[in-house]
């Protein structure tokens, strides 16, 4: 297995009998999922996706990625939340957070349409000057404001740069199969479209065209990624916490939450995990944080953040537990050199690899944090390949869905996200929001 859960460091916090006594709840949650009888069961397409994906579209994704690689210096990916985090996480995890700066024969990839920042947009426009561009606009609803504003800008840039006909060959839209503003506009303008399946929500969509087109464009093996997810689906299929690590992880989170551990910190020891952390935070935060319930997902990259949040984790409010993602094989090596002068006193490290030091920092931190009252689970991930990424995505999606059902929420909706939009539209004077606008005006007096 590419991903396994190590609960050695939770021993002082969760007794074996607690796993045994919560097992029926986890099994029941898993059965609800498998039988499609729980809340949100219209959004379970992600469960069979690794084996039941649209093969024709998958082939088209590869063709489109090859075309983008051939014709563009820069691919601009427009999308927000589930419509960009997975692709960005994959590219940074498998390739590098410095992907755009690497020597490579694939295009630079920039993500936009995920904020409303003037600075970010202007900076990207200036980076794009004089470069050959392609755009992949991704929005299931087709109406998300952040993405739509950015698309208006980049669509018009491509049309003025290449003319309508050539621009149409450089714009790829990933959206609803049938409906929505983006779908209508793409059909009208002749853009190639890819589908966000009806039964897959944004945060569960990385293994659809939403994630796969940018990921394939970065030169990542999407067949291997799907295979990893397919193997996870096959291997994480039984209802016992003692043989299904995704269920065990879900159960451990729930046990800890009931003991007052309301914050889970996902810990990586590699900068290439930063965006994976962000993807994971959305997955768990948007799935569980509702009905005034849920574990708050937070994240750190150590050892960097041991020098910032380390103090709080070691010694602050005891509301936390950590899930450490340990990448066993770093994929490359670096040996710490010896120095005859030893002026810095570091010769005790000479000849060790940097990864040995990193892993030792991890071990030291595991002891320190558990001694400080912070339960730690370790997710052992064999490497940073596309295969392991796909496996890990499925592991977390399954654990998240089971956790949500154990918590008694619908893990597949996100009603809370609408509140800010309603206020923003009202304040901006969008038609249909006149009443809300009036109410907010009263409150501002
Ligand atoms: O997970 C989700 O549902 C959200 O993060 C959405 O993906 C995000 O709000 C973007 O929505 P859309 O794809 O409709 O533009």
Distances (CA, A) of 47 to 36, 43, 112, 120, 289: 10, 9, 29, 36, 21
- With a cut of 90, say whether residue 120 has pLDDT above it: yes
Residue from 55, 307, 435, 445 carrying the catalytic annotation? 307
Assess whether the C-beta atom of 145 lies below 6 angstroms from ligand 1.
no
Poorest-confidence range of 82-96, 188-202, 405-419? 405-419
Tell whether ligand 1 has an atom less than 6 A from the beta carbon of residue 181: no
Q: What is the pTM of this model?
A: 0.97
pLDDT score at 254 = 97
Let me know: does 30 contact 247? Beta carbons within 8 Å. yes
Distance CA 330, CA 214 (A): 24
- Per the CB < 8 A criterion, the answer to whether 209 and 231 are in contact is no
Is the model's pLDDT at 1 over the cut of 90?
Answer: no
Confidence at residue 152, expressed as pLDDT on a 0 to 100 scale: 97
For residue 162, pLDDT over 90 is answered with yes
What whole-number percentage of the chain has pLDDT above 70? 100
Rounded Cα distance, 361 and 112, in Å: 35
Q: Which of 135, 166, 131 is nearest to 152 (CA)?
A: 135
pLDDT score for 113: 98
Q: Is the CB of 370 under 6 A from ligand 1?
A: no
Contact 141 CB / ligand 1 (< 6 Å): yes
- CA atoms of 413 and 55, how far apart (whole Å): 27
290 and 410 in contact (C-beta within 8 Å)?
A: yes
Where in 302-437 does DSSP place strands (E)?
320-327, 376-381
Q: In the prediction, which pLDDT does 406 show?
A: 97
Instruction: Please tell me whether residue 61 adopts helix, strand or coil conformation.
Output: helix
The confidence score (pLDDT) of residue 137 equals 98
Atom 15 of ligand 1, residue of closest alpha carbon: 139
- CB 81, CB 138: distance < 8 Å: no
Cα 240 to Cα 375: distance, rounded to the nearest angstrom: 22
Q: H or E stretch including 178? A: none
Residue 86 near ligand 1, beta carbon < 6 Å: no
pLDDT at 142 over 90: no
H/E run at residue 134: strand 133-139
Distance 202 CA to ligand 1 centre (A): 5
The answer on pLDDT for 77 being more than 90 is yes
Phi, psi of 353 (to 5 degrees): -85, 155
Task: Indicate if 421 belongs to the active site.
Answer: yes
What is residue 183's predicted lDDT score, i.e. its pLDDT?
A: 96
For residue 85, give every residue at least 6 positions away whose Cβ sits within 8 Å of its Cβ, in sequence order, or none.
203, 206, 275, 278, 279, 282
Q: Is the dihedral of CA 282, 18, 4, 309 positive or negative?
A: positive
CB-CB neighbours of 444 under 10 Å: 7
144 Cβ below 6 A of ligand 1: yes
Alpha carbon distance 170, 191 (integer Å): 8
pLDDT for the residue numbered 419: 87
Q: Rounded to the nearest whole angstrom, what is the distance from the C-alpha of residue 137 to the centroid of ligand 1?
A: 12
Name the pairing type of β-strands 192-195 and 133-139: unpaired
Of the listed ranges 61-65, 199-203, 329-333, the least confidently predicted one is 329-333
**pLDDT single digits (tens) 361-420:** 999 999 999 999 999 999 999 999 999 999 999 999 999 999 999 999 999 999 888 888
Mean pLDDT over 194-209 rounds to: 97
Look at residue 253 in the predicted model and tell me its pLDDT: 98
Q: How confident is the model at residue 3 (pLDDT cuts 50, 70, 90)?
A: very high
Is residue 194 pLDDT above 90, yes or no? yes
Q: What is the CA radius of gyration of the chain?
A: 23
Question: Is residue 307 flagged as an active site residue?
Answer: yes
CA distance 145 to 267: 32
| pLDDT-wise least confident of 24-38, 84-98, 301-315, 416-430 | 416-430
pLDDT confidence bin for 2, thresholds 50/70/90 = confident
% of the chain at pLDDT higher than 90? 93
Question: Residue 31 has what pLDDT?
Answer: 97
Task: Please state, in angstroms and rounded to a whole number, the distance separating the CA atoms of residues 49 and 229.
Answer: 9
Q: How far apart are CA 77 and CA 75, in angstroms?
A: 6
Q: Give CA 124 to chain center in angstroms.
A: 23
Which of 230-244, 309-323, 358-372, 421-435 bottoms out in mean pLDDT, i.e. has the lowest?
421-435
DSSP string of 212-270, one letter each residue: HHHHHHTT--HHHHHHHHHHHHHHT-SS-TTT-HHHHHHHHHHHHHHTT--EEEEEESS
* Percent helix / strand / coil, the chain, rounded to 5: 55, 15, 30
CA distance linking residue 42 with residue 36, whole number of Å: 8
Residue 39: pLDDT band by 50, 70, 90 thresholds?
Answer: very high
Contact 165, 32 (CB under 8 A): no
Contact 295, 263 (CB under 8 A): yes
In b/e form, how buried is each residue of 276-299, taking b as 16+ CB within 10 angstroms? bbbbbbbbbbbbbbbeeebbebbb
DSSP for 91-127? IIIII-TTGGGS--SS-EEEEESSS--HHHHHHHHHH
Q: Is the pLDDT of residue 88 over 90?
A: yes
Is residue 36 annotated as part of the catalytic site, yes or no? no
Give the chain's mean pLDDT.
96
pLDDT tens track for 287-327: 999 999 999 999 999 999 999 999 999 999 999 999 999 99
Ligand 1 pocket test target in 42, 83, 416 with most atoms within 8 Å of CB? 83
Q: Find the catalytic residue in 62, 161, 359, 421.
A: 421
What is the predicted pLDDT for the residue at 416? 86
């Amino acid at each position: 297995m590419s991903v396994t859960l190590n609960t050695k460091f939770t021993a002082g916090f969760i007794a074996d009998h607690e796993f045994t006594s919560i097992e029926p709840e986890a099994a029941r949650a898993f059965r609800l999922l498998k039988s499609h009888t729980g809340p949100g069961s219209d959004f379970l397409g992600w469960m069979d996706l690794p084996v039941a994906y649209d093969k024709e579209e998958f082939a088209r994704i590869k063709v489109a990625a090859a075309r983008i690689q051939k014709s563009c210096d820069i691919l601009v990916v427009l999308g927000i939340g589930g419509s960009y985090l997975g692709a960005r996480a994959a590219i940074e995890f498998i390739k590098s957070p410095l992907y755009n700066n690497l020597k490579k024969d694939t295009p630079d990839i920039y993500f936009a349409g995920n904020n409303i920042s003037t600075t970010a947009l202007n900076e990207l426009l200036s980076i794009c000057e004089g470069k050959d561009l392609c755009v992949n606009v991704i929005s299931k609803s087709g109406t998300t404001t952040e993405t739509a504003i950015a698309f208006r800008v980049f669509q018009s840039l491509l049309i003025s740069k290449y003319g309508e006909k050539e621009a149409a060959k450089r714009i790829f839209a990933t959206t609803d199969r049938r409906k929505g503003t983006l779908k209508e506009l793409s059909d009208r303008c002749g853009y190639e479209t890819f589908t966000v399946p009806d039964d897959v929500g944004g945060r569960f969509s990385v293994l659809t065209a939403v994630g796969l087109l940018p990921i394939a464009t970065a030169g990542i093996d999407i067949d291997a990624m799907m295979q990893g997810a397919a193997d996870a689906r096959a291997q994480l299929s039984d209802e016992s916490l003692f043989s299904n690590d995704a269920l065990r992880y879900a159960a451990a989170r729930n046990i800890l939450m009931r003991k007052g551990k309301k914050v889970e910190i996902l810990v990586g020891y590699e900068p290439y995990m930063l965006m994976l952390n962000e993807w994971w935070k959305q997955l768990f935060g948007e799935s569980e944080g509702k009905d005034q319930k849920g574990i708050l997902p937070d994240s750190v990259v150590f050892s960097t953040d041991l020098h910032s949040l380390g103090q709080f984790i070691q010694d602050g409010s005891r509301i936390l537990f950590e899930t450490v993602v340990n990448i066993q094989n770093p994929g490359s090596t670096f040996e710490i050199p010896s120095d005859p002068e030893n002026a810095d006193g570091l010769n005790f490290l000479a000849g060790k690899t940097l990864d040995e030091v990193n892993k030792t920092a991890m071990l030291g931190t595991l002891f320190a944090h558990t001694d400080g009252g912070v339960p730690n689970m370790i997710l052992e991930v064999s490497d940073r390949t596309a295969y392991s990424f796909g496996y890990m995505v499925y592991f977390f999606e399954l654990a998240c869905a089971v956790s949500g059902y154990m918590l008694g929420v619908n893990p597949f909706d996100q009603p809370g996200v609408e509140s800010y939009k309603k206020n923003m539209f009202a304040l901006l004077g969008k038609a249909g929001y006149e009443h809300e606008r009036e109410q907010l005006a009263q409150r501002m007096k």
